[in-house]
Amino acid sequence: MQKEVIVAGFGGQGVLFAGQVLTYAALHQGLEVTWIPSYGPEMRGGTANCTVVIADEEIGSPLVKKPTAVIALNLPSLNKYEKLVQPGGVLIVNQSMVDRIPERSDVTLVLIPANDIADELGSSKMLNMVVVGALLAHFPVVTLDSVEKALSEHLPAKHQHLLSLNGEALRRGYDFASQHAAVPA
């Protein structure tokens, strides 16, 4: 088994941390994993993405050309990565920041108002965990429990007070995606 995920959006949306959490969760489950970040020179507002490869055997290359799953947090990311998702894969789209419907009908599609859900929880910083939860509802390469363990062990000390809120964001994203996905025929 080898699965590839691309998480993409603007800097400041927690793109890289979302990928790191998936990476740590996979490590906790004894899986092989790679994580490669890519971002512009801006601290916030520039482009950011990362690739995560998770496998149950040695990974031959960390490069991803046809990801199994994509999380697109904004319109430029959807425009860039939608066409690359493997048929039968998963496409998570932050509907709060994307004003078009994806064209793919051969992937599991989740349109989730991730910013809105994060705001309902009281912190826009929860956006990344909302979409990670949504991903795991249809792409169970790691468990919610292992993601929560990764958060508890790797959330920076200055953000530890947000640990339970991160867990709630994961569950809200998971629940939303479980109920609102378009699955290919």
Collapsed DSSP state (helix, strand, coil) of residue 81: helix
The pairing of beta strand 69-72 with beta strand 90-94: parallel
Domains, the chain: 2-182 (3.40.920.10)
Distance (Å, rounded) from C-alpha 48 to C-alpha 34? Answer: 17
Whole-model pTM: value is: 0.90
Indicate left, alpha or beta for 30 from its phi (over 0: left) and psi (-120 to 50: alpha). Answer: left
Q: What is the pLDDT of residues 83-137, one digit of tens each?
A: 999 999 999 999 998 999 999 999 999 999 999 999 999 988 889 999 999 999 9
d(CA 118, CA 176): 12
Q: What is the pLDDT of residue 47?
A: 74
Q: Look at residue 165 in the predicted model and tell me its pLDDT.
A: 80
